[in-house]
Amino acid sequence: MTILLNNDGYWHDKYRAALAKHLPERKVVEFDDDYDKADIEYALVWKHPDGDLPLYPNLKAVFSLGSGTDYLDAHKALPTAPIFRLIDPNMADDMALYTLYWIIHFQRQIEVLRQQQRKAIWQRYPTPLAHEVKVCVLGQGAIGGHIANVLSRNGFETFGWSRSPKSLDGVNSVVGLEALQTVLPDMDVVVCMLPAKPLTHKFLNKDIFERMKKGVSLINISRGSVVDEDDLLSALNQGQIGAAALDVFAIEPLPKSSPFWGHPNVHVTPHMSGATNADTAVEIIAQNIKLFEVGTMPNYRYEREGI
Ligand code: GLV
């Protein structure tokens, strides 16, 4: 009845406390502890070393402590036990609020106002109404769909791009590349929620940026590898992209030498638009373990082929 915990070095204490609260009867060991692999029945992991999980002979299920699966896609050896992604409505909400924050920041030209304040300049600008601001969320999975929904509920004219049609209240469903190319020139803000997959690698590149409205704002909260960062830098320098809020990068932590740090039109945040909350994550996982133990497969099972 032992649980293995490995959250890539982050917030052990919070996870320990959450496990004690939601799974009080289970023994918990951490990856670096001394334990017998045969005792482990469940693993709660994030960026666990490739090849390790198949070595646990009694492993029943693996619960990833995040939503993205790119680190699993990169693994050569996966266990036979099922793996489940974490889809936490709190994380989706958190990411939606992060997105909303930046959209309002761009809509209200907060950056310009900050600069004016430094020079004691009292100068007003007309603010477009929310419904006059067009936003496209690329990727309409569980989280991307929720973000689009929140933006629409806040009055923004919202579009959601996905491979198959989605019907979300107040969200204009955009399906396929051709349709995306048709709507892109009208968008004021583009939000990237595309997962890192071979098909999406550097998908946001010069060709796509050139399709966008001059001065568009970009928010990336999925993965850095979805963006061609050299092309993004050129697009920012040319003003094709007016501003960017970047939470994710091809290399993390973002190297100190990266030009994004000092770019006047870039807002860098350290991959925290929707950090896993230990308490709510473990609560969801505890419910899933209970389901699993009565023979019901929890939702969001990871499939290696899935995009
Ligand atoms: C974080 O990036 C996640 O995928 O949960």
What separation in Å is there between the alpha carbon of 239 and the centre of ligand 1? 30
What separation in Å is there between the alpha carbon of 213 and the centre of ligand 1? 29
What separation in Å is there between the alpha carbon of 222 and the centre of ligand 1? 8
Calculate the CA 145 to chain-centre distance: 12
Q: What pLDDT was estimated at residue 1?
A: 78
CATH of 2-88+276-293, one of 3.90.420.10, 3.40.50.720, 3.90.1330.10, 3.30.1490.20: 3.40.50.720
Give me the residue label for tokens 């406390």: 17
Probe ligand 1: pick from 10, 45, 67, max atoms within 8 Å of CB? 67
Banded model confidence at residue 307, pLDDT cuts 50, 70, 90 = very low
Beta-strand runs (E) in the chain: 2-6, 27-30, 40-45, 61-64, 83-84, 134-138, 157-162, 171-175, 189-192, 216-220, 241-246, 266-268
pLDDT digits over 254-301, tens only? 999 999 999 999 999 999 999 999 999 999 999 999 999 999 999 999
> Token pair of 304, please?
């290696």
Q: Is the dihedral of CA 63, 66, 68, 70 positive or negative?
A: negative
Banded model confidence at residue 305, pLDDT cuts 50, 70, 90 = low
271 is catalytic: yes
pLDDT digits over 203-254, tens only? 999 999 999 999 999 999 999 999 999 999 999 999 999 999 999 999 999 9
Query: Is the shortest distance between the CB of 66 and ligand 1 below 6 Å?
Result: yes
Query: Is the shortest distance between the CB of 224 and ligand 1 below 6 Å?
Result: no
What separation in Å is there between the alpha carbon of 117 and the centre of ligand 1? 36
Cα 284-253-275 angle, rounded to 5 deg? 20
pTM of the predicted model, to two decimals?
0.94
What is the average pLDDT across 125-131? Answer: 97
What is the average pLDDT across 107-118? Answer: 97
Say if 2-88+276-293 and 89-268 have the same CATH topology. yes
Ligand 1 atom, smallest distance to 91 CA = 5
DSSP one-letter string for 168-195 = -TTEEEEEHHHHHHHHGGG-SEEEE---
Which residues, including other chains, have CB under 8 Å from residue 51's CB and lie 6 or more apart? 75, 76, 77
pLDDT at 179 over 70: yes
CA nearest ligand 1 atom 5, residue:
66
Rg of the chain over Cα atoms, rounded to whole angstroms, equals 21
Banded model confidence at residue 304, pLDDT cuts 50, 70, 90 = confident
Alpha-carbon span 172 to 158, nearest angstrom: 6
Enumerate the domain spans of the chain.
2-88+276-293, 89-268
Contact 41, 2 (CB under 8 A): yes
What is the four-CA torsion angle of 57, 60, 66, 70, rounded to 10 degrees? 60
Q: What pLDDT was estimated at residue 272?
A: 97
- Give the architecture-level CATH label for domain 89-268: 3-Layer(aba) Sandwich (3.40)
**Which among 26, 105, 201, 271 is annotated as catalytic?**
271
Banded model confidence at residue 306, pLDDT cuts 50, 70, 90 = very low
Alpha-carbon span 270 to 253, nearest angstrom: 7
